[in-house]
Amino acid sequence: MGLKREHEKILKTHGFERAGTLGEALERDEFEGLRVIYAITDPGKREIIYIGETEQGRNLRGRLNAHLKDREKINLIEKDSDLYVHVMVTEFLVLSDFEEVTGGLPACNKRKAIKFA
C-alpha cells in the first residue's frame, strides 16, 4: 500500500531518502558522526509517526534504540518500521570531503572541528 501521499510529499520536499528499516539501520554505521534529521514510520509503513534529529557526532543508533525501548512508543515503532533520513550538510562534512579529494584544507582554513550544536 505504501506511505500516505501527504507524508511522502513532506519527506520529498525536504530531501529525505529511505534508509531501510530500523533493524537494518541498527546493524550499520552509515550515518555515524553525521548530523541527520530522521523520520520513522509505523510498522505498517503507512504514516510517519516520529521525526527527530541528531547532532553532528552523536549516535543515531543510540537514538533509534531509545525509541524502540520507550514504553510510550511500543507497538508504534518497531524494527520493521521504515527509517527516512536527511543528512544535514555541515562545515565539517564539506571540509572533510575537500580534504579527502585534494589532500588538504582550503588555504584560509587552518583546521576542521566537529561543532556540537
Q: Mark 60-82 as b/e (b = at least 16 C-beta within 10 Å).
A: bbeebeebbeeeebeeebbeebb
H or E element, residue 49: strand 48-53
Look up residue 36 and give its amino acid.
V
- Tens of pLDDT, residues 33-74: 788 999 999 999 999 999 999 876 567 888 898 899 988 888
Q: What is the pLDDT of residue 31?
A: 84
pTM here is 0.80
Note the pLDDT tens digit of each residue in 102-116: 999 999 998 887 665
Q: What is the pLDDT of residue 83?
A: 96
* Average per-residue pLDDT for the chain: 88
| Mean predicted confidence (pLDDT) in 79-103 | 90
